[in-house]
């Protein structure tokens, strides 16, 4: 019978905040950001916001592993640590608060244990920080050697070896190295470290009952630091036998997790998991050192023993081996005042609390409503139609998404997407600045993050953040800029989520869409045709997931036989809103409407749309200084008087259409052209949709980052588009 776990706490909900309060009371070199319970950030007391002249090194994750991470904050190690609730990744806002609080002109390195929630949340925070002007790098540590080589993108779990990476990076930063150099040393350290744990008991979360998974005469090899099942449950054995087995697994030549062979030099860490007496850790160290030297021919340069990364009250230990060289030893030997390394607690303690840095103001603040209804530009109307169509399509297919997800996931994909879609429809009329495309996309991200929750909410927020960062770089937004934004979004999701084409995720819809959109625009297709073609590619990509074996998400844990013939619901959802948006844009652009434009054809908005197109068309530089023209369109060429027409005051425009080169008479700004096509159709043909639709050049640079953060060694775009012209 399971019993309530006994803890010396006040309330299970307060354990993390009260731990932080006690930590900063004990060690005068530490402070925390006021803002409990939402913000849980410990930082160095000697780092002034914005003035720190070295690379800031930040790590963090779920609590319950103390003293990791906050206990390693101090000169020579971490600049700040971000804590989530017990075994829960810290929220993005907390990570951003830490970045803003300690990062100076040298930039910031994030060190993240390889767990999906940590990767996504720290990844999104990094992208947001980049958009605010911070220089950011991120290194993911996966040092678990217990389990077989993982399938798909899950990768090796981050364990106690992460602490050694903290020390290497912190010392490198303290030595004044650049962000790129600090990140390189941290990445190298993460590639030469391996860990395996052994547990006598499963940890007990505050307020929960004890687990009876392990009997009194059993132990578990490879048990995770969150209580995840390990590689095997075996009978209790002597510590010497256990150490021999663990070292054999870490140094296995079959898995080749570590580049360590006979003659190598290493650093050894014997780490207690929370309830193991120091005596037992020393007994393990006593066996491990001679075993490495005599059995494997490996020299042990340093030995660290203590409880550095725990799992609450778990009984057991882990062994970490890092291949050492002169530089790594120099970093590990460098002085630090991080209290858990351990060091003394000398110095005077300043006030514990400092204010949370105020983030930059978003385009529309939380709870802020647009003061009055906007008079939408043509671009704003089209963007509004696309967003509305995409959201309504998600609402329409809610039940189908849930039905598919019941077979391959947890059955709530439709419900989660429905929440996001309905919130978007509610917010778009009163919160989204539709005439500001970048701002609107940013607000959509804020909407879905608040209501969707879970991995889907974070992924779609990452999509929006990456698109916003891409779009805001342009003074004018047209087809190529939108394609750049889509490509940047695809790359960001792959970078932080770890998936790519063929992994049976939403990217199997969005990667083909991005690829075909770029190819179609490059081939000379008009933007609407390119958008429709890319939507067809998205649908085909989503359908193709029926034949894929899942390599990411919950589906990757399900038998391939159960997944066969069922499409990935995330991919189907992405294809649905993308296709709906494409057809909405097409309908909006090709609807015949003789209603006078409220701004007038030569009004400021229309004029700016034409000028925006012209700025992006190759060969636009006019041969005559008095003219500006839009070239590159097969039927329509628009000529503008470049210098003597004041925007918003000139009420006529000269237009030449089709290959006959027959001029169309200049007309009043409130009248349609006197030709067969309506004014709206004529204008749309002239500008080729370039002021409204997604653009095409951002894909290359973003895709290259997939391997670095996503865990994949290659990125293969599985769908290509033939030359359409």
Q: Which residues are catalytic?
A: 226
Indicate if the alpha-carbon torsion angle 59, 62, 68, 74 is positive or negative.
positive
**Residue 118 counted as an annotated binding residue:** yes
Residue 494 assigned to a binding site = no
Contact 684, 607 (CB under 8 A): no
Q: Tokens in use for 70?
A: 């906050």
Q: Give CB contacts under 8 A, 24+ apart, made by 282-289.
A: 283/239, 284/239, 284/242, 284/243, 284/317, 284/319, 287/239, 287/240, 287/243, 287/244, 288/243, 288/247, 288/319
Is 588 annotated for ligand binding? no
To the question of whether residue 113 is assigned a binding role by annotation, the answer is yes
Cα 240 versus chain centre, distance: 43
The burial of 560, by beta-carbon neighbours within 10 Å (0-12 exposed, 13-18 middle, 19 or more buried), is given as exposed
CA distances for 635 relative to 701, 718, 725, angstroms: 33, 34, 15
| Residue 105 token pair | 């002109």
DSSP letter string, 411-428: S-HHHHHHHHHHHHHHHH
Reduce the DSSP state of residue 616 to 3 states and report it: helix
| Residue 62 assigned to a binding site | yes
Task: Tell me if 58 sits within 8 A of 138, measured CB to CB.
Answer: no
**How many other C-beta atoms lie within 10 A of the C-beta of residue 237?**
13
Q: Is 626 annotated as a binding residue?
A: no
Closest CA to 427 of 400, 401, 452: 452
Measured distance CA(395)–CA(375) in Å, rounded? 27
Sheet of strand 30-33, all strands in order from the earlier edge strand to the far edge: 136-141, 108-113, 56-63, 80-86, 41-44, 30-33, 353-354
Pairing mode of beta strands 80-86, 108-113:
unpaired
Burial class (CB in 10 A: 0-12, 13-18, 19+), 705: middle
CA angle 428-95-714, nearest 5°? 85
Dist CA 165 CA 188 (whole Å): 9
Residue numbers in the known binding site for substrate are 62-65, 113, 118
Residue numbers in the known binding site are 62-65, 113, 118
């Amino acid at each position: 019978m399971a019993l309530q776990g006994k803890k010396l706490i006040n309330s299970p909900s307060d354990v993390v905040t009260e731990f932080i309060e006690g930590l900063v009371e004990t060690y005068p070199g530490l402070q925390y950001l006021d803002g409990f319970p939402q913000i849980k950030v410990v930082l160095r007391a000697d780092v002034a916001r914005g003035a720190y002249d070295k690379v800031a090194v930040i790590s963090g994750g779920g609590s319950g592993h103390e003293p990791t991470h906050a206990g390693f904050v101090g000169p020579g190690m971490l600049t700040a640590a971000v804590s989530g609730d017990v075994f829960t990744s810290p929220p993005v806002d907390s990570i951003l608060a830490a970045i803003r609080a300690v990062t100076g002109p040298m930039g910031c390195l994030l060190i993240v244990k390889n767990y999906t929630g940590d990767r996504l949340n720290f990844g999104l925070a990094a992208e947001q920080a980049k958009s605010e002007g911070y220089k950011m790098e991120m290194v993911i540590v996966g040092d678990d050697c217990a389990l077989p080589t993982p399938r798909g993108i899950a990768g090796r779990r981050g364990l106690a070896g992460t602490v050694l990476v903290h020390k290497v990076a912190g010392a490198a930063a303290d030595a004044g190295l650049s962000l790129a150099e600090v990140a390189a040393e941290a990445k190298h350290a993460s590639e030469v470290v391996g860990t395996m744990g052994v547990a006598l008991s499963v940890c007990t979360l505050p307020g929960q009952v004890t687990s009876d998974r392990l009997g009194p005469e059993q132990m578990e090899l490879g048990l995770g630091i969150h209580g995840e099942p390990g590689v095997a449950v075996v009978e209790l054995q002597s510590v010497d036998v256990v150490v021999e087995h663990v070292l054999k697994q870490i140094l296995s030549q079959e898995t080749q997790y570590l580049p360590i062979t006979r003659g190598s030099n290493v650093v050894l860490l014997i780490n207690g998991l929370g309830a193991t007496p120091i005596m037992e850790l020393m007994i393990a160290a006593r066996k491990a050192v001679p075993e490495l030297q005599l059995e494997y021919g490996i020299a042990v340069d340093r030995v660290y023993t203590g409880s550095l990364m725990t799992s609450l009250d778990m009984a057991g230990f882990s062994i970490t081996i890092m291949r050492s060289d002169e530089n790594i030893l120099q970093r590990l030997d460098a002085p630090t005042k991080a209290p858990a390394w351990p060091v003394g607690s000398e110095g005077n303690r300043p006030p514990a609390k400092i204010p949370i840095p105020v983030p930059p103001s978003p385009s529309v603040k939380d709870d802020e409503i647009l003061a009055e209804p906007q008079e939408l530009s043509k671009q704003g109307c089209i963007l509004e139609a696309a967003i509305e169509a995409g959201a309504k399509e998600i609402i329409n297919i809610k039940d189908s998404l849930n039905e598919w997800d019941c077979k391959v996931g947890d059955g709530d994909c439709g419900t989660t997407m429905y929440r996001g879609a309905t919130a978007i429809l509610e917010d778009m009329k009163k919160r989204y600045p539709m005439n500001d495309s970048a701002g609107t996309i940013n607000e959509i991200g804020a909407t879905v993050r608040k209501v969707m929750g879970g991995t889907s909410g974070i992924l779609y927020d990452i999509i929006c953040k990456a698109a916003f960062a891409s779009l805001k770089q342009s003074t004018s937004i047209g087809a190529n800029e939108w394609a750049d934004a889509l490509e940047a979004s695809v790359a960001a999701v792959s970078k932080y989520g770890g998936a790519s084409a063929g992994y049976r995720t939403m990217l199997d819809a969005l990667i083909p869409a991005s690829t075909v959109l770029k190819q179609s625009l490059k081939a000379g297709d008009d933007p609407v045709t390119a958008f429709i073609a890319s939507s067809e590619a998205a649908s085909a990509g989503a359908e193709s997931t029926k034949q894929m074996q899942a390599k990411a998400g919950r589906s990757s844990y399900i038998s391939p036989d159960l997944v066969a013939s069922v499409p990935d619901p995330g991919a189907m959802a992405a294809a649905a809103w993308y296709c709906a948006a494409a057809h909405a844009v097409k309908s909006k652009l090709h609807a015949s409407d003789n209603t006078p434009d409220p701004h007038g054809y030569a009004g400021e908005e229309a004029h700016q749309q034409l000028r925006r197109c012209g700025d992006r068309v190759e060969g636009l530089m006019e041969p005559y200084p008095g003219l500006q023209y839009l070239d590159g369109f097969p039927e329509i060429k628009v000529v503008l008087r470049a210098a003597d027409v004041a925007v918003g005051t000139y009420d006529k425009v000269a237009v030449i259409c089709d290959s006959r080169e027959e001029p169309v008479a200049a007309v009043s700004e409130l009248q349609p052209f006197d030709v067969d096509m309506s004014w709206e159709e004529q204008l749309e043909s002239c500008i080729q949709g370039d002021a409204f639709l997604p653009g095409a050049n951002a894909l290359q640079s973003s895709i290259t980052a997939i391997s670095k953060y996503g865990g994949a060694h290659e990125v293969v775009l599985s769908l290509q588009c033939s030359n359409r012209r």
